[in-house]
Amino acid sequence: MIELVEKLYDGGRPSDAELAALIASEDEKASERLAELADKVRRKYYGDKVFLRGLIEISSYCRNDCLYCGIRRSNKSAERYRLTPEEILNCAENGYALGFRTFVMQGGEDAYFTDDVICGIISRLRKRFPDCAITLSLGERSRESYRRMKEAGADRYLLRHEAASRELYSRLHPAEMSLDNRKKCLFDLRGLGYQTGAGFMVGAPFQRVEDIVADIRFMEQLRPHMIGIGPFIPQHDTPFGGEKGGTLRLTLRILGILRLIFPKVLLPATTALGTISPEGRKLGLKTGCNVIMPNLSPADVREKYKLYDNKLITGGEAAEGLALLKKEISEAGYTAVEERGDCVS
Ligand code: SAH
């Protein structure tokens, strides 16, 4: 396995079978070497910098019904809320004062946020914070909608592809959703000049090693600027509430592999990773991650934006816990910086 890790580091192209073997490997020495080389690569392009993104969870209303997600429309126990434009602006204001230079507006697919409404908010943010990056994570929209939001001032868009294998995609999503449209959205975003993020959950129900290989192959075509991956964590009010969650080991192994295959990518140590283990985010940073997205949402809505159980609400992942988070980052050997943190070219 170590040879395979070295081959990846040297830019060699592993076969599907080799990639699958590396993903599935339990070889501790190979995992250690993988983390070491992933760290070397991230340091080559990003030094010891960790970019912070202020996450604003703008709505828990969603028209979609993804089987894994706690805010799916069929979940009658989910409490729904949406932030007003003023509340969103306020979150960003607080975030700016704390040193954030990227704001991420994420939410369910909420019909309230028409192009006019969301573009109005983006323009106001753009004007108020000319030195900040504006990232959107609002799901599938038309190319025209993406174009208008870009024109209003958005810079980046996160849309995990969720599963590049057709069979897995259809087991995780209702029949009315399609992998083809998901992929089309991602290529539209990229074509429009967004810094684009794809990604998937690790250890989702029915996911096999071959599916993860398919995810990597898809991303080799898309060439995303950002890749968001985190462990699947069951949410008790969803059809997958009784399933097993993804593991720390496998998530870390995949993070390391992604850093070697996509050397310059922006790779967050996600909240989900921090949720399954107190060491999760630190280990993520040591395995190639260079982004953390603390929560800037008003405290009373964080409880309601529950994609999965036991989501971290306070502490290092909350914006108020920033001092703690910065300490955690520096103890891991990195430095949190007040920068937009664009992808290096
Ligand atoms: N509606 C937006 C934002 C989705 S929430 C969109 O469609 O892109 C952001 C991400 O959370 C999703 O892409 C999904 O991969 C992840 N997620 C949802 N439910 C989860 C769960 N139970 N465990 C772990 N991650 C989950």
Please indicate whether residue 233, judged by its CB atom, sits closer than 6 Å to ligand 1. yes
Please indicate whether residue 137, judged by its CB atom, sits closer than 6 Å to ligand 1. yes
CB-CB neighbours of 77 under 10 Å: 8
326 — pLDDT class (breaks 50, 70, 90): very high
In a domain, 201, yes or no: yes
CA 272 / ligand 1 centre spacing (Å): 10
Q: Is the pLDDT of residue 316 over 60?
A: no
> What is the Cα–Cα distance from 205 to 240, expressed in whole angstroms?
7
Please indicate whether residue 201, judged by its CB atom, sits closer than 6 Å to ligand 1. yes
Q: Which residues contact 72 (CB under 8 A, 6 or more apart)?
A: 62, 64, 65, 66, 78, 238
What does the pLDDT look like over 265-303, one tens digit per residue? Answer: 999 999 999 999 999 999 999 999 999 999 999 888 988
In a domain, 249, yes or no: yes
CA 309 / ligand 1 centre spacing (Å): 12
Nearest CA to ligand 1 atom 12: 160
The neighbouring-strand residues paired with 318 are: 295
In a domain, 165, yes or no: yes
| pLDDT at site 315 | 61
Nearest CA to ligand 1 atom 13: 160
> What is the Cα–Cα distance from 133 to 126, expressed in whole angstroms?
8
Taking phi over 0 as left and psi of -120 to 50 as alpha, with beta for the rest, 268 belongs to: beta
Please indicate whether residue 109, judged by its CB atom, sits closer than 6 Å to ligand 1. yes
Please indicate whether residue 235, judged by its CB atom, sits closer than 6 Å to ligand 1. yes
**What is the CB-side half-sphere exposure of residue 340 using CA atoms within 13 A?**
14
Ligand 1: which of 68, 75, 275 to mutate, judged by most atoms within 8 Å of the beta carbon? 68
What does the pLDDT look like over 10-68, one tens digit per residue? Answer: 999 999 999 999 999 999 999 999 999 999 999 999 999 999 999 999 999 999 999 99
| pLDDT at site 184 | 98
Six-digit token pair at 306? 């529950």
Residue 268 DSSP label: B
Number of domains in the chain: 1
CA 188 / ligand 1 centre spacing (Å): 20
| pLDDT at site 303 | 85
Q: Where are the alpha helices (DSSP H) in the chain?
A: 2-9, 16-24, 28-46, 85-98, 115-128, 143-152, 166-172, 179-191, 209-222, 248-261, 271-276, 280-285, 299-302, 322-331
Ligand 1: which of 80, 113, 140, 160 to mutate, judged by most atoms within 8 Å of the beta carbon? 160
Q: What percent of the chain has pLDDT over 70?
A: 98
In a domain, 61, yes or no: yes
Ligand 1: which of 65, 173, 200, 201 to mutate, judged by most atoms within 8 Å of the beta carbon? 201
CATH number at residue 183: 3.20.20.70
Q: Which residues contact 154 (CB under 8 A, 6 or more apart)?
A: 122, 134, 135, 136, 194
Which ligand 1 atom is nearest residue 200's CA? 15
What does the pLDDT look like over 169-225, one tens digit per residue? Answer: 999 999 999 999 999 999 999 999 999 999 999 999 999 999 999 999 999 999 999
What does the pLDDT look like over 55-112, one tens digit per residue? Answer: 999 999 999 999 999 999 999 999 999 999 999 999 999 999 999 999 999 999 999 9
Which residues in 170-189 are b (16+ Cβ under 10 Å) and which e?
eebbeeebebeebbebbebb
In a domain, 182, yes or no: yes
Residue 157 DSSP label: E
SS3 147: helix
Question: DSSP string spanning 174-230?
Answer: -TT--HHHHHHHHHHHHHTT-EEEEEEEET-TT--HHHHHHHHHHHHHH--SEEEEE
Q: Which domain holds residue 260?
A: 2-337
Judge whether 61 and 108 are in contact, CB under 8 Å.
Answer: yes
What does the pLDDT look like over 121-169, one tens digit per residue? Answer: 999 999 999 999 999 999 999 999 999 999 999 999 999 999 999 999 9
Question: Among all chains, which residue has been given the structure tokens 């983006």?
Answer: 122
In a domain, 135, yes or no: yes
In a domain, 157, yes or no: yes
| pLDDT at site 345 | 85
CA 61 / ligand 1 centre spacing (Å): 13
For the chain, give the mean pLDDT.
96
| pLDDT at site 133 | 98
> What is the Cα–Cα distance from 260 to 39, expressed in whole angstroms?
9
> What is the Cα–Cα distance from 145 to 243, expressed in whole angstroms?
36
> What is the Cα–Cα distance from 146 to 157, expressed in whole angstroms?
9
